[in-house]
Chains A and B, each alone.
Chain A
């Protein structure tokens, strides 16, 4: 396994093409806007080095028998699925941000079972190819981005019906030694901090969409790939001179990027789907289900930090014993643990696939994510309620460091007498960061749209509701079944 230092050094060696604020970024690892997100991914390596977190952060590979980072693990049991959620909660607690590495893990587990079933049906050899690739990933302990979402253009039209055929990533050329692909993947979490990218289709496809049924993996610095870093609320605070308090979260962050694949060559040994349209839907559904499970861990960890921050703010404001404050903290905890309960339940109810890895219960995973589209918003609202309006009206850190102004700010922004004003400002900036600053990207809007927007989960829940059986239950209880049987006689 890589150490955290080895991970950072390995990222420095990549020749990524990254654009931010109109300029090409020469060294992404040193850029102050990007570095916090690198620190979050680094935490996935750092915690794996510690014995007190080994049980969650590491696993034994079914491919090699070696100890590996759990982010590269192919789940072998429901216990693995549960530990995945707990691991994600732990890292959410340590970073209070989107730590980005889960997408590749979810993509790998989806591809593992899909390629197996594809080979069985079509006589292809994608499964062995994928296992060989993923063994390399495990041995080198790489961070892999999972790229699914196409820009999609006109959402009312299929990929082949678009005015611009590149609105969905597709194969533009097939050669004896590989394929050439063109298109883009939007909202790519952690791409700038990843060694490799796994690309997948984003929707179920029809036979005429053959060129869009493509899945492959390439290094992130492959010729033809470039990334345009996503703008975030309050992002330029990271560029302010000697900034500390006003960041809220001093060290960590997340990011997304628009990733362009400008006629990128993919060698055969890196292709895991090419034209098998009937399996695109399976891959999408499996990835989406694993990723919806993930949110029952990561967002709960961030929620833990937000609850702690709100409780601290209440302490510093001098109102920890007020009954409405206690009740708001209870409500925040209730909502947060409900998300966790969903993550755990879809894991416990997981089943073994034909390939041998374990898959989550899809109904419960979709219920998990549907709740994640709502509860962080309410948890954030309650945190803002407890924090008070001063959270968004406080003077800047620069004003606080001004020798003339500091005494006035210390005096008039003090809460309880025995807590320095600076501490009150710090915790309020943390709440601001999570609820409407850079971390709100991950905690709120990503909770809404990540792993599929709310309607996507509602469709999946509807498909699995088993309404006919439930109607029979009701008919039995109220006597309709008995009467129907009597009437037949």
Chain B
């Protein structure tokens, strides 16, 4: 079973940026993160969701690396990878809650001081949808191109 180096490299980069980096960032911010977990924003939960989605995207990338690019399976896996990436982006924009759809608010209380934060990042939600839609179109176009090349290259 041959592994395409470019796809394998992409999987490694995905693992580093979506799994290793969030874990490292959380450990670096450990004291502040623990303070926030006592508020309505649970950073530990955000980390778990982020790492879980990152692992799924990495696994999809690794499977794609060994599957024939002209196969329907590769097409479906590529589209699935885009959808999971969308979920990841929604998680980031929603500060840990995908259902927030880019608008999040949370409260932190320490003694007599209460801090209320509301974050509006909905513009990035729409940008993400546009990027994913364009990505899916590109995947379908590439799939059809590879199929056409294989059909042309086949001996008659």
A, B bound: no
Residues of A whose CB lies within 8 Å of any CB of B are none
